[in-house]
Amino acid sequence: MRAIKVAAATVGLSAALAGTAVGLAGPVSAAPGSGGCTNGSYPPANSTVALSRSRATVGMTISYQARCFKPGEKVTATVFSTPQVVGAPTADEQGTVSGSFTVTSNLKPGRHTLELAAATGTQSASFIVVPNAAAAGTGNGNGSGSDSLAFTGSDAAKTAGAGFVLLLGGGALIVAAKRRKHANAAA
């Protein structure tokens, strides 16, 4: 339990020193309410950005919710690697914003960041785009195509087949050696 508290304090201190909010991946309902926003004090803000999913494929929808904005404030939601504005929600009377966006095909597989920017500050959370089955099969079959991730696993069927062939070959050599031994002993 102590290790968890130390890790949480380290993440909080790192985020405070960097001046960024820590993003949480989890259900949208995991975002805390508007109470506890402490802009201008230490830690800089008890704000969070909650995402409905931390991993998505093209075509999936990701919902988000964040707090600690000024009530009625206009917020711009942008996805980064390739900057792409995905929404412009307005903070409600508690300073909470929420919205959703669909992962488009121009977001390549890898880590991306959703940034919520407003006059009172910027908050962000990361998510990962993973290739779907159709995208993974567009290369040359082994994942080495330029538009897919590298194949890093093993093909168990090929390995088992090769092992079986070697086992049969070894058995055949043993039988041949025994026949030769018996033939030499008889002669």
pLDDT digits (tens, 9 = 90+) for 148-165: 455 565 667 777 777 888
| Whole-model pTM over 0.85 | no
The candidate with the shortest Cα–Cα distance to 35, out of 47, 19, 50, 49, is 47
State the pLDDT confidence band at 62, using cuts at 50, 70 and 90. very high
What pLDDT was estimated at residue 141? Answer: 45
Kindly state the average pLDDT of the residues 167-174. Answer: 88
Q: Which residues partner with 65 through β-bridges?
A: 50, 98
What pLDDT was estimated at residue 26? Answer: 40
Check if the beta carbon of residue 70 is closer than 8 Å to that of residue 41. Answer: no
User: Alpha-carbon distance 82 to 5, whole Å?
Assistant: 36
Is residue 3 classed exposed, middle or buried when 0-12, 13-18 and 19+ CB atoms within 10 A define those classes? exposed
CA distances for 187 relative to 6, 103, 118, 176, 178, angstroms: 81, 79, 97, 17, 14
What pLDDT was estimated at residue 150? Answer: 53
Q: Which domains are present in the chain? A: 2-136 (2.60.40.1930)
State the pLDDT confidence band at 124, using cuts at 50, 70 and 90. very high
Return the top range by mean pLDDT from 9-13, 80-84, 115-119, 144-148.
115-119
Q: Is the pLDDT of residue 69 over 70?
A: yes
User: Alpha-carbon distance 144 to 111, whole Å?
Assistant: 19
Neighbours of 13 (CB within 10 A): 12
18-46: string of b/e by CB count within 10 Å (b at 16+)?
A: eeebbbebeebeebbebeebeeeeeebbb
Arithmetic mean of pLDDT over the chain: 74
Token pair of 53 as six digits: 């999913």
